[in-house]
Structure 1
Amino acid sequence: MLNAFLSLPLVLLFTIFASRVDSQFISAQNFLPVSYPLAVRSPYLNAWIDTPDRTTSLNVWPTHWDNNNVGFARIDGVAWQWMGEGGPGNTTTVLTSEITPTQSRFSVLAGSVVLNITFFSPIEPLDLVKQSFPFVYLSVEATSIDGNEHDVQLYSDITAEWISGDRTKVAVWQTVVSSTDVYHQASLQNPEPMTEITNIAEDSTVYYSMQTVSKMTYQSGISGTMRSQFGSTGSLSDTQDNTFQAINAGGFIAFAFAVDLGSSTSFTTPTVWALGIVRDPVIQYVPQAGSSQSQNRRSYFWTQFSSIGNAISAFLSDYTDAVQRATALEQRITSAAQSISTDFADLVSFGARQALTSDITISQDSNGAWNYSDVLAFQRDTGKSRRVNAVETLYATMPVHLYLNASWLGMHLQPLLQYQDSSGYQNGFASPDLGMYSGLTEIHLRSTGNMLIMTWAHARMSGDGTLIKRYYDLLKRWTNFLVTNSLLQNNQISADGLQNVNMTNLAIKGILGVAAMAQISSATGEDADAQAFKANASALYQTWKSLALSSSNSGHLLPTYGNTAASGYALMYNMYPDNLLGLGVIEESVYEAQAAYYSTLAQSAGQFGLTFDTSSNGEANSAWTLFTAGSIANSSTGTRNELVSMVYARANSNASTSVGSFPTYYNDTTGASPTPGGGQAR
């Protein structure tokens, strides 16, 4: 399980978001990424904040692409802005920062008071209702640093920018007040289902809420007006502006809360807000290839709540318990990660919540009853492609699912398997995502290998054999394709975008897919198939080894068969599943030779590590570097840690946002993303 955990942060490399910030940083932590995750919970609730060049300020907009939040504190009648820009307050200074698997924490100095600000995106591996609820917490505590009592009021708002990428569209909103809590909600006057503009869903409803507490006030209206009012009076008017207008009218339409904490030296009871983005339904899913019939699938949390108000109230009242659960989970995760290295623990903390932004959905029958046997998860590539359940991205997130709850991997695989098992799907290989296009046939080998490996990983780690039994014939058909096509490939594209002939790394992916099917056959009682596929995998491996091993003293693997150029190499990250799942295909001597070779290469590597292939023009890939580390984890912990530290060096590079927050692909020397948008998965 340690090897499964080794690749947990890989997911962070596929969801890089545009972010802006402006306060000031003197971090007590050694890990200082350019961007900090704030609200990371679902495909359309991904808010980040930039802190380039060790800036000591948070006074710029935290954003998911273009969405703004703002926060103020009023201390002894003086306004201080602790997040956002363009407000009436003085600039605050960030003293310390910390990233955990579920939280980003900042200690911010505002005059003689320190504000402790926490952005909390829960991870709930034991509760699908809680995990599927697309909300996050924001909390603030305050402490005097001079020993004197201070009069403190807090303010926070969001704008309607969360609901559309077109700021000229008209928003509608309301504020709902109950005896226990208050929430603002806003959506478009004319929402467009299943449509997005600049990565913002046009059918979103944004909610901002808090529990009813003493001296809490609220208001909706023009952002500048409310912020100025708070700066002057420390409170809001408990009113809502019902003149519906464009999102960017008068500045921006905003939804605000203010709380008067009174006068004290310490305010240790946190002020807590909850932010959420809800879409209903969240996806239209076509379960049968070639069919025009689709399912409107809803988030799983609706199985427990009859109204969004009830769900919000439960989420707010659960805050203390949610923190306790998160603390226990984080202790387990970080303890395991730190047993590898401190660098790795930081990467895990940075990436964990990013892996779990899928929509967990459920269907209903014609009478509206929930079908609890039909729970499916959908993962969106939040990058250039915006594909759903892209196989290579799901493969990269596989280790975190296996570590936290292996059944989650099955919920993602099921839609892919169901679609391709239908009569309308005629290909003998696996689709790269939900929907097959003729222009993508060049990646069928890697997709097929990935699907077989993941399907076996799910069954092995979860103990649930449902998928391997139900889709056995489909999996067998795919395996026969790999037996014929894995060893010698032409016109195939690897996961890192290479299209060389007979790539050693791509070939072993297919061979390990065959080996995974041998395990599937054995587990389902198909003994004849198990023996046949085991023999196939062994024979393919022996031929692969004879073609791929260098004849030099190092005995390392060549990037392509027969490529004996002294400077030629490739990271063999596709060996990782053999180690992860104990497939027993690759001999230890091959792992040891690779570990020694990587160690030699590392001596002359760029500042940010090894390129994934010498034909990549100096391009490194953080995900595949970590998979490579996982592949040789049992052979050389020293080399494993060297590779991890290379990725950490890039993640911790805080010099400038101009080189990208933390792109999947980057130059091994400069750290810059090779193309605009290169921070996203491709």
Structure 2
Amino acid sequence: MSKNHPGKIFRTKSPFYFILLSLFLLASCAETKKATPVVTMTKNLRAPAYPLVTIDPYTSAWSEADHLYDDAVRHWTGKRHGLIGAIRVDGQVYRFLGKEELPRKAVLPMANQGAWDGVFSLTQPASGWEKPDFNASKWTAGKGAFGTSGMPDLVTPWETPDIWVRREFTIDANLTDAPLYLIYSHDDNFELYLNGQKLVDTGYAWKNNAVLPLDGELKKLLIKGGKNVIAAHCHNKTGGGLVDFGIYQDSEKQEIFAQAAIQKSVAMSATKTQYIFACGSVDLNLEFMTPLLPQNPDVLSRPVSYLSYDVKSTDGKDHDVQIYFEATPEWAVNTISQEVSIEKGETDGLTYFKTGTTEQPVLAKKGDDLRIDWGYFYLCGAKTPEMSYSLGGYQAIKEGFAATGILESTGEQKMTTKMVPNMPVMACAQQLGKVSDKGSNGKIMIGYDDLYSIQYFNENRMAWWKKDGKVTMDDALKAANTEYDQLVETCAKFDNEMWNDAVKAGGENYAELCVLAFRQSIAAHKLFKDKEGNTIFLSKENFSNGSIGTVDLTYPSAPLFLIYNPDLLKGMMNPIFYFSESGKWNKPFAAHDVGTYPLANGQTYGGDMPVEESGNMLVLAAAIAQAEGNATFAEKHWEVLTVWANYLVENGLNPENQLCTDDFAGHFAHNTNLSIKAIMGIASYGKLADMLGKKDIAEKYTAQAKEMAGKWVEMANDGDHFRLTFDQPGTWSQKYNLVWDKILGFNIFDPAVAQKEIAYYLTKQNTYGLPLDNRKTYTKSDWIMWTATLANDKETFQKFIDPLHKCFNESPTRVPMTDWYETTDAKQVGFQARSVVAGYFMKMLEQKSVKK
């Protein structure tokens, strides 16, 4: 049993258990042509969320629960992506994947069921505005939802910083005693009152469909048969704004797959998440695999994930077994109020369901908390007598499987429908027959054809895998099916090599964090080519501000790609180079971004980061040159690199009041860590010049960097450490930018500088890690990894990594890994599912650099 989680059998630290697990995997596939390769999996990590289907920033589904059946499968934004799995053993059904969410009955509907009437004020109202007897006759009538452009189910635009909303209603005097729920969506700071009593005060946050049970004393606040008021105030701090709320009652319907299996374990490797369940007298091994292989862009870009299953008897007897999977159109919409079409199709031995919105607003929306609502989601399986498929109602399809184990075709091959209040499902079931201890297996595939992926400087571009329209989704599904066995082997080899390298570099806790980061980081990007054929690999700032191609996301993400495929890092940098070299960006420093996802038409971020982004681009250009052994990529962009290097020489030593990558901390001047960034950028330019044979330039800029480093030490010195800002004694901060002096072999700073900092940091750690600086107790996990890499030995490195591992193992915030959290209680502060966790690979990059 885990010491951190006593009594839970879904994790184990026993080496003997994992030997048995490996033997089980080999035995369960005994009837296949090849034994399934044994893959080293995580042992001690309870992930805050487990990656299931991780293709790109839009098709990204996770389990945010300890057991796969405890909660619905969710998009990284938290929206439900309906995916349910059940197995029928000798007539008894066990649910192992997802959770039925029966539609609640609307007592006071939210906007996804139609616009609702309210009144609002955009100026501060008089006191008592939240009370039922307040006179709101001078307020403006409007319909919910209220929000900024692009928000879900928007009716009344709201563009000011604050809005106050009142919604009056009556409750039926005959309302049943069934539980009631107040459901609300907001962005950002939100206060909500029911009949004058405050029920919600979120602080700086944004949520969709948050649920507050109205039970006990809260339910007594409602006046049956009389006037009630819900009043809300929302302050939009940044980005989008939203106000929507309603009251709902539990459905009178009952779950069909109410009996859950027993989860015995969950473990991960770089490309796989594996679950094992006890389902009566059989064991089910379930594996999600997304082959995000960095060195194979065709496969990495292909929008197909696998869900494979092996079932075997555990009591020496044969058992009659059927297995079932269903998906809903929630995968293909931004909100469930959108109308969808569903159709059944076939291709080359495969049967699939395909669903998408009837509107098909291709690349029509941009922003952060959005889901794709163009293109088509696919649920695909084999076309064999053992597989049956059905399209129909949420409960009816399940009832049919529970009764017979076979999906009876309803005759419907195509439908157009709304998902509220009656959710349709696409389902498939396999007859596994009499299952013995030798086992039986199969797989399904989940895919998404987004038609066009990115608008790149006003031209809509297709994903890499489409080859400018020459490859169809049918072709992709056929290739994914044909190549499956080989990809299983290739992924196993990659996973094991990555694990072994990570353990060697930083130990098992470090390796587990790299495993958790791998799919998250890659799936936060989209891969395509521009019209000239250049590789473009654009990131999305998930739950930050939705920017696309952000340079200070590229920077922390770089280590993973420098190790496995520098061409992908070039693909992140190419848009920024083009932006400047085309004249579309004419400032003497690098841009922050090239737009808001998925529209990459030019910077949309409100403030520049001159030293930050220029330093980032120069450092990464040098890192690519070191990884490839030549500076060809930098030579192609030499003119603009020169402009940026000169900007850093003039402005980098003691930066003025400006933002750095930690922009959430606000503007501040004399930032010592940002100064290091500038020095590293200048040293990088010198290194590149040397590699290109420009010896005079190399000597000049290298000497400049060394001179600045000497001044830095004098200006930043604070006794046993170095300051946060040059002008504030008694302050400190992580100097994570200094890691490049070590990685790129500059030796610009005296090595004693880094070791003085490391010794000081060890005195400042909290339970869950090292704070970012002295101002707050929060931290950034990617920067902890870089700071830890400054240590000269593995043991010291692990002193920083173990609290970080503990954080994700114990965090009460169940979302795809955050990189911004509190070191005191492991709670998320902001950000999730971002690409920056690829920075965890910095220690592995150091090991690779040492070998060279």
Q: TM-score range by the shorter chain?
A: 0.7 to 0.9
TM-aligned CA deviation for residue 336 of structure 1 = 0.8
Query: What residue number does 1:353 align with?
Result: 519
Query: What residue number does 2:401 align with?
Result: 230
Contact residue 312 and residue 440 of structure 2 kept, 8 A: no
Change (3 A) 1:533 1:253: same
Contact residue 211 and residue 316 of structure 1 kept, 8 A: no
* 2: CA distance, partners of 1:226 / 1:580: 57
TM-aligned CA deviation for residue 377 of structure 1 = 1.6
* 2: CA distance, partners of 1:438 / 1:189: 30
Query: What residue number does 2:249 align with?
Result: none
**Paired residue for 1:211, among 378, 382, 385?**
382
TM-aligned CA deviation for residue 106 of structure 1 = 0.6
1:505 lines up with 2:658 in the alignment: no
* 2: CA distance, partners of 1:256 / 1:240: 14
Query: What residue number does 1:362 align with?
Result: 529
* 1: CA distance, partners of 2:535 / 2:436: 50
Query: What residue number does 1:649 align with?
Result: 806
Change (3 A) 1:267 1:508: same
* 2: CA distance, partners of 1:540 / 1:240: 75
Which has the higher mean CA deviation after the structures are superposed, 429-438 or 79-88?
429-438
TM-aligned CA deviation for residue 639 of structure 1 = 2.1
Letter in 2 for 1:164: V
Change (3 A) 1:466 1:269: farther
**Paired residue for 1:246, among 417, 428, 432?**
417
1:43 lines up with 2:57 in the alignment: yes
Q: Secondary structure at the match of 2:390?
A: strand
Which has the higher mean CA deviation after the structures are superposed, 605-614 or 428-437?
428-437
* 1: CA distance, partners of 2:414 / 2:294: 42
TM-aligned CA deviation for residue 562 of structure 1 = 4.4
Letter in 1 for 2:648: L
Residue by residue over 1:395-446, the C-alpha shift from the partner in whole angstroms, topping out at 9 and shown as x without a partner, is 1110010111111111111111111111232100111111465864442211
* 2: CA distance, partners of 1:45 / 1:482: 39
Letter in 1 for 2:824: T
**Residue pairs, 1:256-295, within 5 angstroms:** 256-266=427-437, 268-286=439-457, 294-295=458-459
Structure 1, unpaired ranges of 5+: 1-23, 287-293, 365-370
TM-aligned CA deviation for residue 588 of structure 1 = 1.4
Structure 2, unpaired ranges of 5+: 1-7, 13-42, 101-254, 596-601, 837-852
Contact residue 154 and residue 261 of structure 1 kept, 8 A: yes
**Paired residue for 1:451, among 612, 617, 630?**
617
Contact residue 57 and residue 93 of structure 1 kept, 8 A: no
1:194 lines up with 2:194 in the alignment: no
1:620 lines up with 2:785 in the alignment: no
Query: What residue number does 2:40 align with?
Result: none
Q: Secondary structure at the match of 1:82?
A: strand
**Paired residue for 2:71, among 54, 60, 81?**
60
Query: What residue number does 2:464 align with?
Result: 300
1:578 lines up with 2:735 in the alignment: no
Query: What residue number does 2:264 align with?
Result: 95
Residue by residue over 1:232-279, the C-alpha shift from the partner in whole angstroms, topping out at 9 and shown as x without a partner, is 111112456356333415531221110000012236453111111221
Greater share of helix: 1
Residue by residue over 1:488-510, the C-alpha shift from the partner in whole angstroms, topping out at 9 and shown as x without a partner, is 12211222233332111111011
Letter in 2 for 1:527: K
Residue by residue over 1:617-670, the C-alpha shift from the partner in whole angstroms, topping out at 9 and shown as x without a partner, is 2112111111111233xx23222111111211111115x347x66422111111
* 2: CA distance, partners of 1:472 / 1:581: 19
Change (3 A) 1:316 1:153: same
Query: What residue number does 1:631 align with?
Result: 790
Query: What residue number does 1:26 align with?
Result: 10
Q: Secondary structure at the match of 1:334?
A: helix
TM-aligned CA deviation for residue 82 of structure 1 = 0.7
**Paired residue for 2:639, among 435, 451, 473?**
473
1:312 lines up with 2:477 in the alignment: yes
- Aligned-residue RMSD, C-alpha: 2.2
Letter in 2 for 1:60: D
Residue by residue over 1:564-585, the C-alpha shift from the partner in whole angstroms, topping out at 9 and shown as x without a partner, is 32xx321111111222222221
Letter in 2 for 1:579: K
Q: Greater CA radius of gyration, 1 or 2?
A: 2
Change (3 A) 1:681 1:100: closer
TM-aligned CA deviation for residue 374 of structure 1 = 2.4
* 2: CA distance, partners of 1:81 / 1:525: 65
Contact residue 185 and residue 206 of structure 1 kept, 8 A: yes
TM-aligned CA deviation for residue 516 of structure 1 = 0.6
**Paired residue for 1:426, among 571, 576, 586?**
586
Query: What residue number does 2:283 align with?
Result: 114
Letter in 1 for 2:515: S
Contact residue 25 and residue 57 of structure 1 kept, 8 A: no
**Paired residue for 2:797, among 625, 640, 662?**
640
TM-aligned CA deviation for residue 121 of structure 1 = 1.2
Contact residue 592 and residue 636 of structure 1 kept, 8 A: no
The TM-score normalised by the length of structure 2 is 0.71
Percentage of identical aligned residues: 22
Change (3 A) 1:206 1:243: closer
**Paired residue for 1:529, among 697, 702, 709?**
697
* 2: CA distance, partners of 1:267 / 1:311: 32
Letter in 1 for 2:818: P
TM-aligned CA deviation for residue 125 of structure 1 = 2.7
Contact residue 209 and residue 275 of structure 1 kept, 8 A: yes
| Count of residues in correspondence between the two structures | 628
Q: Secondary structure at the match of 2:416?
A: coil
Contact residue 520 and residue 834 of structure 2 kept, 8 A: no
* 2: CA distance, partners of 1:58 / 1:318: 30
Contact residue 388 and residue 406 of structure 2 kept, 8 A: yes
Contact residue 650 and residue 662 of structure 1 kept, 8 A: no
* 1: CA distance, partners of 2:642 / 2:483: 46
Change (3 A) 1:592 1:132: same
* 1: CA distance, partners of 2:9 / 2:341: 38
Residue by residue over 1:42-78, the C-alpha shift from the partner in whole angstroms, topping out at 9 and shown as x without a partner, is 1111111112xxx445242111132121101111011
Residue by residue over 1:548-604, the C-alpha shift from the partner in whole angstroms, topping out at 9 and shown as x without a partner, is 122x2x3x2222214332xx3211111112222222212211122222222333xxx
Q: Secondary structure at the match of 1:136?
A: strand
Q: Secondary structure at the match of 1:94?
A: strand
